[in-house]
Chain A
């Protein structure tokens, strides 16, 4: 059995994924998370800033959760009793720091329509900035390859693996693209082109001054928002909802938050954006997937 390759891809593309497929054939067939650009991800290699690590389990059964930020978004890394080495390394880390993570892709679907991607780590290691910068370059190269291939695919009707192979797309990507097209339909490439350009600019000092937020700013939210540390009106409302729904200290369930927000006139889109900003600001966190808790 060939070892699964470790994909280099940005958090934003990984978190956009909502399709999981299994390799089929044998009993212990591997499963893959297929991204909108057709990356078929079983294993990932990620280098970013580990912004926080916490035990979201119990003292008896710890479950360590780390957030790893790259220029486009955040990876969620969970290590429990079945990943003893990774859990031990995570528990010792003192964020923030540059960290490299090799792990398996996971998806979690608490209800229909909501899909969370995460990483179950195999190894975790503290690294220096140069390793992180090289990773961004590799992630850009990998993204570029997929963008080119998907652009080819969008000129085809119907999209077939054979057709893609004929125009020189590698087999490993071609299969994922066909699955991605079936699941996601026609993907808006401009968002990913912007992600690629942002990733590259992130590495270049000449672009650093013009970005808000200092030398290591997060970039590439679809509509850049000014990121003050004080919550805005939506965020205040959402914080209130989360606080009031969290009756047992285990966090507020997503469904409840969605319902309460709707009754206060906050749409699902605005709610999601608010929660993302609150997560970024460190005002709320997810003790387990699908539940939100105030810090």
Chain B
């Protein structure tokens, strides 16, 4: 094991400019692989990121499967089959019309959408097996998307270079070995064959289409004492709300950074006594978390953070949105749809910092109106009178900046850090004297 990992330890150390010792990298890598059980590639990238380096500077390639891709990768090499391909004309802003290709790539692990932004040397057809070098990934509507750009090289391979893609989850190889027990708060993207004991808080049956094949998925929220997670069951286990289950052989995917649990026919479900876990109303409470812990996890479902709003971001206050795509207009123009008649909206994008970490908290119109104790119409009138939307922003800044708040919502993450879509928030009123007295007594007692 150690010898096999040596080139990768070396690769990580080099990508970090030798500022972290090999022993430490080796220890961390082993923890990612053996404790959290994430893939080698995910582990390498996570370690480089954690130490402030750029994962794109990793050089020792790992053969990648589509399931392992994450958004924001600058250079990925793949062997995949073209599941579908189509043409489309687009007109990027400030450029002439051009023809692009889009479709689906598949390998035995997963399928992902792709887009080829530049003409390719040879036409692509459904069923082709292609070797792709130097593609990049982005996130589109919560899903990884592979992009072929100017630097990307696509070459055809023999059609038996890759097994035929069989649609639907559960087509992966069965797990070998015992599943690893994991608490919900410890779920990490990329982990597989994990065991979770949790109560089902909600479940609904949904019909979805996976690569043109209709499938049924049972999705909802489950929880243990440590936290909540979305789940997707790709087989009908006859899951019922409020029952306590032991799920063995599940895997963890991430949606916008939030780890969520998935399981299919490879999983074993054991129904447990209802009193193994606290009742649903207790588990449904939003756990309070430090932002540093959210950052380490990649996000969380329905969590509560307490901190100070230390800054208002650009685009807070009275904004105008594109009627087509809801993007916020800059100088009266939408990034995609050009000059449009904007629809007014109120929102706050603020930096919430709890001393352990920081996230961007987004408050929607309803929350912003409540914070201001003013309606959108009143704000529009005030901005008209002042002939600037700055008045609304300034009022929000006066009201919020430097104030302690408690905010509850889902926390997602991407390359720019953590973001909370705030569900509810309140300004914190803390009894400073009581807390100071308690801390002082603790201090004097320990002396």
Pair A196/B443 contact, Cβ less than 8 Å = yes
> Interface residue count for A (Cβ, 8 Å)?
45
Instruction: Specify the chain A residue showing the minimal Cβ separation from B428.
Output: A134
Q: Does B270 contact A (CB under 8 A)?
A: no
Measured in the bound complex, the distance between the Cα atoms of B292 and A104 in whole Å is 20
Of residues 17 through 68 on chain A, the ones whose CB sits less than 8 Å from some CB of chain B are: 23-26, 29-30, 45, 47
Instruction: Specify the chain A residue showing the minimal Cβ separation from B358.
Output: A3
Of residues 403 through 419 on chain B, the ones whose CB sits less than 8 Å from some CB of chain A are: 403-404, 415-418
Scan B21-43; emit 1 where CB is below 8 A from any A CB, else 0.
00010010000000000000000
Q: Does A167 contact B (CB under 8 A)?
A: no
Q: Does A140 contact B (CB under 8 A)?
A: yes
Taking a contact as CB atoms closer than 8 A, the residue among A26, A193, A197 that contacts B52 in the complex is: A26
Measured in the bound complex, the distance between the Cα atoms of B52 and A201 in whole Å is 39
Q: Does B435 contact A (CB under 8 A)?
A: yes
Pair A5/B430 contact, Cβ less than 8 Å = no
Pair A203/B436 contact, Cβ less than 8 Å = yes
Pair B436/A127 contact, Cβ less than 8 Å = no
Pair B439/A6 contact, Cβ less than 8 Å = no
Pair A204/B436 contact, Cβ less than 8 Å = yes
Of residues 139 through 175 on chain A, the ones whose CB sits less than 8 Å from some CB of chain B are: 140-142, 144, 161-162, 170, 172
**Which residues on the A side are within 8 Å of B433 (C-beta)?**
203-205
**Which residues on the A side are within 8 Å of B443 (C-beta)?**
144, 193, 196-197, 200
Nearest-CB distance from B271 to chain A (Å)? Answer: 36
Measured in the bound complex, the distance between the Cα atoms of B292 and A142 in whole Å is 14
> Interface residue count for B (Cβ, 8 Å)?
41
Stretch at the interface among B145-153, B160-168, B235-243, B349-357: B349-357
Measured in the bound complex, the distance between the Cα atoms of B430 and A150 in whole Å is 28
Among A4, A26, A134, the most chain B Cβ lie within 10 Å of the Cβ of: A134
Pair B17/A203 contact, Cβ less than 8 Å = no
Pair B401/A24 contact, Cβ less than 8 Å = no
Nearest-CB distance from A9 to chain B (Å)? Answer: 10
> In the complex where A26-B52, A122-B311, A144-B439 touch, is A100 in contact with B401 (Cβ < 8 A)?
yes
Instruction: Specify the chain A residue showing the minimal Cβ separation from B404.
Output: A134
Of residues 96 through 149 on chain A, the ones whose CB sits less than 8 Å from some CB of chain B are: 100, 102, 122-123, 125, 127, 130-131, 133-134, 136-138, 140-142, 144
Pair A25/B353 contact, Cβ less than 8 Å = no
Pair A131/B402 contact, Cβ less than 8 Å = yes
Taking a contact as CB atoms closer than 8 A, the residue among A29, A141, A162, A172 that contacts B27 in the complex is: A162
Measured in the bound complex, the distance between the Cα atoms of B417 and A127 in whole Å is 28
Q: Does B53 contact A (CB under 8 A)?
A: yes
Nearest-CB distance from A194 to chain B (Å)? Answer: 10
Pair B311/A25 contact, Cβ less than 8 Å = no
Instruction: Specify the chain A residue showing the minimal Cβ separation from B418.
Output: A2
Among B19, B433, B435, B436, the most chain A Cβ lie within 10 Å of the Cβ of: B436
Instruction: Specify the chain A residue showing the minimal Cβ separation from B351.
Output: A3
A23-B52, A25-B53 are known; give 18 further A-B pairs, CB within 8 A: A1-B416, A2-B358, A3-B358, A4-B358, A24-B52, A26-B54, A29-B52, A45-B308, A45-B310, A45-B355, A47-B402, A102-B310, A102-B311, A134-B432, A162-B27, A200-B439, A204-B433, A204-B440
Chain A contacts to B: CB under 8 angstroms: 1-8, 23-26, 29-30, 45, 47, 100, 102, 122-123, 125, 127, 130-131, 133-134, 136-138, 140-142, 144, 161-162, 170, 172, 193, 196-197, 200-201, 203-205
Q: List 17 A-B contacts (CB under 8 A).
A: A2-B417, A3-B357, A5-B357, A24-B52, A25-B54, A127-B402, A131-B403, A138-B308, A142-B355, A161-B24, A162-B27, A193-B447, A200-B436, A200-B439, A200-B440, A203-B432, A204-B433
Chain B contacts to A: CB under 8 angstroms: 16-17, 19, 24, 27, 51-54, 291-292, 295, 308, 310-311, 351, 353, 355-358, 397, 401-404, 415-418, 430, 432-433, 435-437, 439-440, 443-444, 447
